[in-house]
């Protein structure tokens, strides 16, 4: 309940300020609401959101998969870590915009470039978190699994992944929010559709109502994904922990 009150208060403050200012530059919640409804009905909003969501999901999946594998390998092998770490530092300090521009120039103004550019931006963060996770793996459980001749697959599934679960969920939570923000930039620069594209054209028209309506719709969508997908998965992963009495 406190979450609902707090959100309602935010909307109320917005409504009061907008009513006082009476400016075209800050439309009130009602105006934005009707814009959202109109765009929903015309199919524009769902179309662009679907484009953006598709890019978010693909680049997130690529970054998580490759980042987890690479981070795990670096956490397990000191030699590999020593050689790969400078690359990681270069990658992590590369400005997102530079990666995006190079992806578009080298690969072309297409979907592959857009998705790869976002994935490469997120990749080093996943690697850093997963490397920490791999370093924290319990050598005693590892030894137990070796003594009982666990197969490689069941070692990963029953011994390694449960220990990495907190790191996976930390990097996927921060990842999801970073990825969708970068996807908008990628769309703004070089895609003919998606929320970022719409925000770009609304900016050139000073159409604040549309900017707000798309921003709010996308935030709501990400909140829904967070509470319907990420949180239940997390609860499932930690159900073995003893609940506080």
Partner 1 sequence: MNDAQSAGDAAPLELRIDAKAFLSADGTPVEVVRGFKLRLEAGSFGALIGPSGCGKTTILRIAAGLDPDFRGELHTPGSGRLGIVFQEPRLLPWRTVEQNIRLALPAHAADADLTDLVAILGLGAHLARYPGELSLGLARRTAIARAFAVGPDYLLLDEPFVSLDEAVAARLRDELVALTTRTKVTTLFVTHDLDEAIQLSDRLFFLSDRPTRIIVERSLPPPRGTRSRDVIASLGDEMRGLVAQATASGA
Binding site for partner 1 (CB under 8 A): 140-141, 143-144, 146-151, 154, 158-159, 162, 240-242
Query: What's the CA gap between 4 and 7, in Å, rounded?
Result: 5
CB of 240 to partner 1, least distance (A): 4
Q: Which is nearer to partner 1, 3 or 236 (CB)?
A: 236
- Give the per-residue SS3 of 155-171: HHHHHHHHHHHHHHHHH
CB of 148 to partner 1, least distance (A): 4
Which tokens belong to 59? 């680049």
Q: Which is nearer to partner 1, 79 or 153 (CB)?
A: 153
CA-based nearest residue to 63, from 187, 189, 172: 172
CB of 164 to partner 1, least distance (A): 11
Query: What's the CA gap between 2 and 49, in Å, rounded?
Result: 29
CB of 85 to partner 1, least distance (A): 24
Query: What's the CA gap between 43 and 26, in Å, rounded?
Result: 25
DSSP 94: S
Q: Which is nearer to partner 1, 24 or 146 (CB)?
A: 146
Q: Which is nearer to partner 1, 77 or 154 (CB)?
A: 154
CB of 140 to partner 1, least distance (A): 5
Provide, for the chain, the percentages of residues in helix, strand and coil under a 3-state DSSP scheme, each rounded to the nearest 5: 85, 0, 15
CB of 56 to partner 1, least distance (A): 29
Q: Which is nearer to partner 1, 41 or 157 (CB)?
A: 157
At a CB cut-off of 8 Å and minimum separation 6, what does 76 contact? 134, 137
Output phi, psi for 109, to 5 deg.
-80, 75
Q: Which is nearer to partner 1, 3 or 242 (CB)?
A: 242
């Amino acid at each position: 309940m406190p979450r609902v009150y707090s959100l309602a208060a935010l909307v109320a403050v917005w409504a009061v300020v907008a009513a006082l200012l009476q400016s075209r530059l800050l439309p009130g919640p009602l105006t934005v609401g009707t814009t959202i409804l109109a765009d929903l009905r015309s199919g524009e909003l769902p179309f662009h959101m679907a484009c953006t969501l598709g890019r978010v999901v693909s680049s997130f999946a690529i970054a998580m998969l490759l980042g987890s594998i690479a981070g795990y390998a670096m956490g397990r092998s000191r030699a590999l870590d020593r050689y790969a770490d400078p690359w990681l530092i270069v990658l992590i300090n590369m400005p997102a915009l530079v990666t995006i521009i190079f992806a578009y120039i080298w690969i072309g103004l297409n979907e592959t470039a857009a998705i790869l550019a976002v994935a490469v931006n997120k990749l080093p963060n996943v690697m850093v978190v997963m490397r920490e996770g791999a370093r924290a793996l319990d050598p005693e459980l590892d030894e137990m699994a070796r003594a009982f001749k666990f197969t490689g697959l069941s070692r990963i599934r029953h011994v390694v992944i449960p220990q990495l679960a907190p790191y996976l969920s930390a990097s996927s939570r921060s990842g999801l929010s970073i990825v969708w923000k970068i996807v908008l930039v990628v769309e703004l620069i070089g895609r003919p559709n998606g929320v970022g594209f719409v925000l770009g054209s609304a900016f050139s028209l000073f159409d604040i109502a549309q900017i707000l309506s798309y921003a709010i719709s996308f935030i709501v969508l990400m909140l829904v994904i967070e509470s319907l997908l990420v949180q239940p998965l997390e609860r499932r992963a930690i159900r073995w922990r003893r609940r506080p009495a």
